[in-house]
Structure 1
């Protein structure tokens, strides 16, 4: 079993529960606090590790993955294929380079589907193709809603049309795919894995369009999880950190400069005067650093996907991200806003100084 930050946090949680119960037992005079804490934590930790290590057989089980043209989706489709899953890899461009790579590297159990998640007719056609290729009466064990886009820029600079782009793919496309394939997932008593982001737990400047879509994924997934519980269907959320440097989905420095110039050119003279060129440089620096600072190794995300699809008792959330980002997200969720804003400003200053060295 792989050690992850999720598992460490859960062991710490059971340690806290054990400490609370040990204190109660000690006050009641039933057992010494140290003995009770040690016994309880060993027991709860062992039970957690045992259940976390329970796996489902995967050979022959069907999984549908969206957004397989590149990035997480492309790597995940091939990984699941090697594990023995029957993989349906949905691509925005079924004849594109990424889809051809899947056909070349995958086995006969990997099927490429044409699917733009924003077009219901393509989603329906893909579902019919999945039904045709599945054995009669079988369902879909896993639905992985991975397709997504990311728009960055100041709220006042980004057009309303661009603001609609991220939710259209990241949440409404996700909902459309989920509603279409959910009967097949219920039939298999499988699971739905929705890709949110650490940006679905905390927001940051210049990330408004992306954050609103990922916050929505969190809310939708929580509601769906509660609705699907009676049917034996698990709903998991993946909250990756910044892996922009490992997915090659984000713009090069030259493209960033062009994007910022386009945003700046669209502003009226009053807004240009209010913001100034220095602010424009800050926006450009943020967008460049978003890719540069991203992790290159996406294996933590692939491992999280794998656990969500193979654990007998999957977690409601998987958080493949660096510890620093996990800590900042914790502060965002549990501390007053002024504390979180101060931490973010401090980190921005430290990163700026680091870049200047």
Structure 2
């Protein structure tokens, strides 16, 4: 880790010297631009530096939310790279397709666990099973990948408080709950925790508050955990995907329609009169468009998750998102609100 940090410092120093040299005797703005240019160039160069990776043999990884999407795919990839994988599936006891597909691999290094991230009892049972089946009981758990998640939509006045609680119970409290149960095993391994947030955890959008607040919470929780785990040699990384709804099927046509009906049926007459049915139909159409426009390829997110598990020095944040979301996130987090809001919101 120290050697890679030293390389980055040397690269930045070299770029800074090269950019500042022509500005000798120039004004403050020229020097400030040179520092910015040096930062961009150093960041670009460091992106292509070789990454030292750990050997998965003898190391165990826990992945939550493996019934579908990213969790199911990353479990397979990590298993193929030599890790022992404990794949948590909430639908295992109901014969869920994802749990059956992973179990069909038939490998002693791929364990499919019944796991409900909203249940303390379920998690402690999973930990007991894990401790009995770790490849090296003295080595602990190399990584937690907190992937389990759910989503919804609806304006603040439309969403009942129960919706906020339901989404938070999985996305936020589920992440906290899993981390607290398994963190002692990660400390033993001097491993890492990887939390799946979202681009909407950096800059949210109208109708996504119930989802957005959970991802902002995951960002904050991850940052604080990173500060606290430094002394133990445990890394904490955050994955911030862009729009991959089409790939994960977290929203589908039936789900969007069902949510719209539940929202309308749950509104008070006062709210219905204020907004009107057309406003709901407009947001429903927007969600249909959002769901169909997203990437159908899970590999950018899966690759980021794998990189966070295998890198000797993992990044703090991985941003597997489309160019549009890179630009939007930068503008929404760096420019004055009156500029960013008028570009993307109003």
TM-score bucket (shorter structure): 0.7 to 0.9
Paired residues of 1:200 and 1:211 also in contact (CA < 8 A):
yes
Aligned to 1:149: 150
Cα drift, residue 177 of structure 1: 0.7
Q: Report if the CA contact (8 A) 2:79-2:110 is conserved.
A: yes
In structure 2, the partner of 1:229 is 230
The answer (yes or no) to whether the contact 1:199–1:211 under 8 Å persists in 2 is yes
CA deviations 1:10-51 (Å, max 9, x no partner) are x9xx7798347742685389xxx9xx99xx899957983576
Distance 1:26 1:173, change over 3 A: same
**How has the CA–CA distance of structure 1 residues 69 and 261 changed in structure 2, closer, same or farther, with 3 Å as cutoff?**
same
Moved more, 256-265 or 149-158: 256-265
Correspondence for 2:201: 200
Q: Comparing 337-346 with 187-196, which one deviates more in the overlay?
A: 337-346
Rounded to whole Å, the distance in 2 between the matches of 1:75 and 1:330 is 29
Tell me by how many angstroms 1:331 deviates.
0.8
For residues 39 and 122 of structure 2, the distance between their equivalents in structure 1, rounded to whole angstroms, comes to 51
Q: Equivalent residue for 1:311? A: 311
**Cα deviation digits, residues 128-153 of structure 1 (max 9, x gap):** 11110013312111110000111211
> For 2:48 and 2:56, how far apart are their aligned partners in 1?
19
Q: Deviations over 1:212-263 (max 9, x none)?
A: 00000000000000111111110000000110101122122x4422321221
Whether contact under 8 Å (2:65, 2:72) holds in the other structure is yes
Q: Which residue of 2 aligns with 1:162?
A: 163
Paired residue secondary structure (2:193): strand
Query: How do 1:1-357 and structure 2 match up within 5 A?
Result: 18-19=15-16, 22-23=19-20, 27=24, 48=46, 52-94=50-92, 95-105=95-105, 107-134=107-134, 135-252=136-253, 254-345=254-345
Offset of residue 61 of structure 1: 1.1
TM-fit CA distance, 1:118: 0.8
SS of equivalent residue, structure 2 residue 87: strand
Which position in structure 2 is the counterpart of 1:8? none
Q: Say what the alpha-carbon RMSD is for the aligned residues.
A: 2.7
Quote how far apart the aligned CAs of 1:336 are: 1.5
Aligned residues: 326
Mark the runs of 5 or more structure 2 residues left unpaired by the alignment: 1-7
TM-score (normalised: structure 2): 0.87
Could you list the per-position Cα deviations for residues 301-331 of structure 1 after superposition, in whole angstroms to 9, with x for gaps in the alignment? 0110111011111100000000111110011
Take 2:179 and 2:328, find their aligned partners in 1: how far apart are those partners?
Answer: 31
What is the SS of the residue equivalent to 1:297?
A: coil
Equivalent residues of 2:205, 2:345 under 8 A apart: no
1:178-202 superposed Cα distances (whole Å, 9 cap, x missing partner)? 0111111011111100000001000
Taking the aligned partners of 1:119 and 1:45, their CA distance within structure 2 comes to: 42
> Whole-Å Cα distance in 2 between the matches of residues 90 and 228 of structure 1?
24
Q: Secondary structure at the match of 1:89?
A: strand
Instruction: Indicate if the aligned counterparts of 1:155 and 1:208 stay in contact, CA closer than 8 A.
Output: yes
Task: Report the CA distance shift for 1:49/1:317 in structure 2 as closer, same or farther (over 3 A).
Answer: closer
Using the TM superposition, name which of 103-112 and 201-210 deviates more: 103-112
**Cα 1:179/1:51, change in 2 over 3 Å:** farther
Alpha-carbon spacing, 1:330–1:43, altered in 2? closer, same or farther (3 Å):
closer
